[in-house]
Amino acid sequence: MEFIIVTGLSGAGKSRVVTALEDIGYYCVDNMPPKLLPKFAELCIQSEENLSRVAIVVDVRGGQTFGALFDALTSIRQMGSNYKILFLDCDDQVLARRYKETRRQHPLVSAGINNVQDAIAAERELLKTLFDRADYLINTSFLSPSQLKERITELFLGSATQAMMVQCLSFGFKYGYPSEADLVFDVRCFPNPFYEPELKNKTGLDKDVRDFVMETDEVRGFKKRLYEFMDYMLPLYRNEGKSQLVIAIGCTGGKHRSVALAEALRCHISQAGYRTMVNHRDIGKI
């Protein structure tokens, strides 16, 4: 039995994640009171319908019952079933804008908090322990609905109990730091194709940009040391039981250097036998 506990900030995209998980074969339940989790898990285990992949959304909409979540998760583990926590994060200003655009009310506003900003801050504090314990962390601030669905599909299409998934993420510092990253490498110190007229409007996915980036002595030295570092660290993360490792590589705009190096790193890690995915967060931004 594979349980995914989907949680995170209100407005971060949990409903879209549930839809994506249903599309790849998960039985999904939204807004389940935490006290019902152990009984529900027991029913799933005993079910004749082969409910082997189950996703349950648990969040602050449960009100006072939300505090019972950790006792419930302990009970599930005592039954001999495993679970993973998927946490959806999002920047405060993006969440506030989403609430303004949709005209929906934050769950904690109805519970007596005066405004959306205060509600988001209070919810973040309530969810801090879950954030710290999350097996999978996705920040949806810069993801389109299709990108979020693609991320979920790549992450869970196989069994979540398989080997660690390594995500190589390229980004532009000018668009914000990726809060979901476990490791961040700043490559703004390397020669920038942006200042080459014939390369400016291309990306690190184009061969001539990739050659420009990779064929400098600085990048050759960086790649050698980066690969050695990852070859040493990845088994340690895997043995520690980490389900997802996010390695972010950032340049100024997220179109050239970071993209080329993220692709190269993904290829190297994949050749070592790890499940990998690559995401170029800012490649389409102007």
pLDDT of residue 241: 64
Q: pTM score, two decimals? A: 0.64
| Cα dihedral across residues 116, 93, 34, 6: positive or negative | positive
Helix axes 217-240, 207-214, angle to 10 degrees: 90
Q: Answer whether residue 285 is part of any domain.
A: no
Tell whether 67 and 147 lie within a shared domain. Answer: yes
Tell whether 178 and 263 lie within a shared domain. Answer: yes
pLDDT of residue 110: 67
pLDDT of residue 160: 37
Tell whether 50 and 142 lie within a shared domain. Answer: yes
Tell whether 60 and 191 lie within a shared domain. Answer: no
pLDDT of residue 161: 33
Tell whether 157 and 171 lie within a shared domain. Answer: no
Among 162, 196, 214, give the residue marking a domain's end: 162
Tell whether 158 and 262 lie within a shared domain. Answer: no
pLDDT of residue 164: 76
Tell whether 156 and 253 lie within a shared domain. Answer: no
How far apart (Å, rounded) are the C-alpha atoms in residues 149 and 245? 19
Tell whether 199 and 143 lie within a shared domain. Answer: no
Q: Answer whether residue 262 is part of any domain.
A: yes
Tell whether 115 and 182 lie within a shared domain. Answer: no
Phi, psi at 253, each rounded to 5°: -105, -10
pLDDT of residue 145: 86
Q: Note the pLDDT tens digit of each residue in 5-44.
A: 999 999 999 999 998 898 888 899 998 888 888 888 888 8
Tell whether 28 and 147 lie within a shared domain. Answer: yes
How far apart (Å, rounded) are the C-alpha atoms in residues 1 and 163? 17
**Each residue's pLDDT tens digit in the chain (286 positions)?**
778 999 999 999 999 999 889 888 889 999 888 888 888 888 888 876 667 789 999 888 866 667 788 888 888 888 877 889 999 999 999 999 998 888 888 888 766 777 888 999 999 998 998 999 899 999 999 888 878 888 888 888 754 334 578 999 999 999 999 988 999 999 999 999 999 999 999 999 999 999 999 999 999 999 999 999 999 999 888 777 677 899 999 999 999 999 999 999 999 999 988 889 999 999 998 7
Among 162, 186, 202, give the residue marking a domain's end: 162
Tell whether 111 and 220 lie within a shared domain. Answer: no
Tell whether 140 and 190 lie within a shared domain. Answer: no
Among 126, 144, 162, give the residue marking a domain's end: 162
Q: What angle do CA 166, 142, 17 make, to 5 degrees?
A: 65
pLDDT of residue 45: 80
How far apart (Å, rounded) are the C-alpha atoms in residues 160 and 156? 6
Which domain does 267 fall in, by range? 166-280
- The count of domains in the chain is 2
Which tokens sit at 143? Answer: 């993801």
